[in-house]
Amino acid sequence: MRSKRKAILAVVALAAVAGVGTAAAQTYPSRPVRFIVPYAAGGGVDIVTRTLAQKLAELFNQSVVVDNRPGASTNIGSEAVARAAPDGYTLLMASPANAVNGSLFAKLPYDTLRDFAPVSLIGYGPLVLVVHPSVPARSVKDLLALCKSRPGQLSYASGGNGSSQHLAGEMLKVVTKIDIIHVPYKGAAPALVDLIGGQTAFMFNNTLEVLPYVKAARLRPLAVASAQRAAVLPEVPTFAESGLPGFEATVWWGVLAPAATPKEVVARLNAEIVRALRAPEVKERFTGLGAETVGSTPGHFGDFLKTETVKWAKVIKASGIRAD
């Protein structure tokens, strides 16, 4: 009799939890939703987040606030979301850093695969190698020759240790055996400021961030790190066309929520995010910046995140990169 009573109580408890989740999904969102961007304002992740947030605000008929929390290679902002209430009101705009930090740092205050609930993959874009106009290089071949003639003198900027810009730079260093200096910043935006000012020689960055400066002739593009040329930079060759076949590096963006967020809330978020990404004005905005929208299921994004984590763990181990 006692065991039967326990079984009944367990069923009632599960039903109650399910009821709470369903009720939460039906009323969600009833107050402003906050997107934490673990980078400085003005960078690619920030631009993507604000584009999505604006459309979601329309669909939700509720404010969607973008909160920039740069620093510590995205760990400050990421930890804030991992520790936030799992109610769908605090979200993280994730990027490649969230797939590599577990391999870069000896100890993290969170685990990306354990402490977050995947919501949706947002989109991706190729990295572009750009140089300051004062650098006497008009091609990848020219830049490599310049680096080899000045070993240990030319520097490249990145959005921080372990960022996609850093990993692409190190991959170039390993593949071509050039001796260059890495200068990390707290985000791609301040890195671009110094590159434009001539404090560094070159950097890898996504088309979203470099395109305005390329059009204004404040930066010179040498190659795109994708299989095909970028539609927004049709005159810029790929690395394969520049003599480095197989050299590819892209950035991606995706939405993560705290791990215990009710599945019903995650499903509602996913549905509205996919709907937002299908909106013509959003797709046009991404395309104009040289990026592609995706919009995936939570399961697909979870699998993608696991694959990225394993892939970059191998790269980091082989190159010996450490962030601490």
Q: Which residues have C-beta within 8 Å of that of residue 263, sequence separation ≥ 6?
A: 21
pLDDT of residue 278: 96
Find the CATH number of the domain harbouring 268. 3.40.190.150
Q: What is the C-alpha separation between 243 and 25, in angstroms, rounded? A: 52
Specify the residue for token string 């961007």.
Answer: 37
247 in a domain, yes or no? Answer: no
Q: Which residues have C-beta within 8 Å of that of residue 180, sequence separation ≥ 6?
A: 147, 152, 154, 155, 156, 169, 173
158 and 206 part of one domain: yes
The tally of domains found in the chain comes to 2
Show the domain range for 48: 18-124+252-319
Find the CATH number of the domain harbouring 133. 3.40.190.10
pTM: 0.78
pLDDT of residue 249: 86
35 and 90 part of one domain: yes
23 and 119 part of one domain: yes
240 in a domain, yes or no? Answer: no
237 in a domain, yes or no? Answer: no
241 in a domain, yes or no? Answer: no
118 and 265 part of one domain: yes
272 and 184 part of one domain: no
CB 263 within 8 A of CB 46: no
pLDDT of residue 189: 84
* Structural domain ending residue among the three candidates 208, 224, 240: 224
pLDDT of residue 295: 95
Q: What is the C-alpha separation between 261 and 148, in angstroms, rounded? A: 52
pLDDT of residue 10: 52
Q: What is the C-alpha separation between 48 and 253, in angstroms, rounded? A: 8
pLDDT of residue 231: 85
CB 258 within 8 A of CB 116: yes
CB 116 within 8 A of CB 257: yes
229 in a domain, yes or no? Answer: no
84 and 134 part of one domain: no
CB 307 within 8 A of CB 112: no
312 and 256 part of one domain: yes
Q: From first to last of its 324 residues, what are the pLDDT tens digits of the chain?
A: 555 555 555 555 555 555 555 555 678 999 999 999 998 888 788 999 999 999 999 999 999 999 999 988 889 999 999 999 999 999 999 999 899 999 988 889 999 999 999 999 999 888 999 999 999 999 999 999 999 999 999 999 998 877 889 899 988 998 899 999 999 988 788 999 999 999 999 999 988 889 999 999 999 999 999 888 988 899 999 999 999 998 988 889 999 999 999 999 999 999 999 999 999 999 999 988 788 899 999 999 999 999 989 887 877 887 788 776
111 and 22 part of one domain: yes
70 and 160 part of one domain: no
The H-assigned helical ranges of 105-178 are 112-115, 140-149, 164-176
* Structural domain ending residue among the three candidates 224, 242, 267: 224
- Maximum Cα interatomic distance, the chain, rounded to a whole number of Å: 85
104 in a domain, yes or no? Answer: yes
302 in a domain, yes or no? Answer: yes
214 and 166 part of one domain: yes
110 and 132 part of one domain: no
Specify the residue for token string 């200096």.
Answer: 181
pLDDT of residue 15: 54
132 and 116 part of one domain: no
85 in a domain, yes or no? Answer: yes
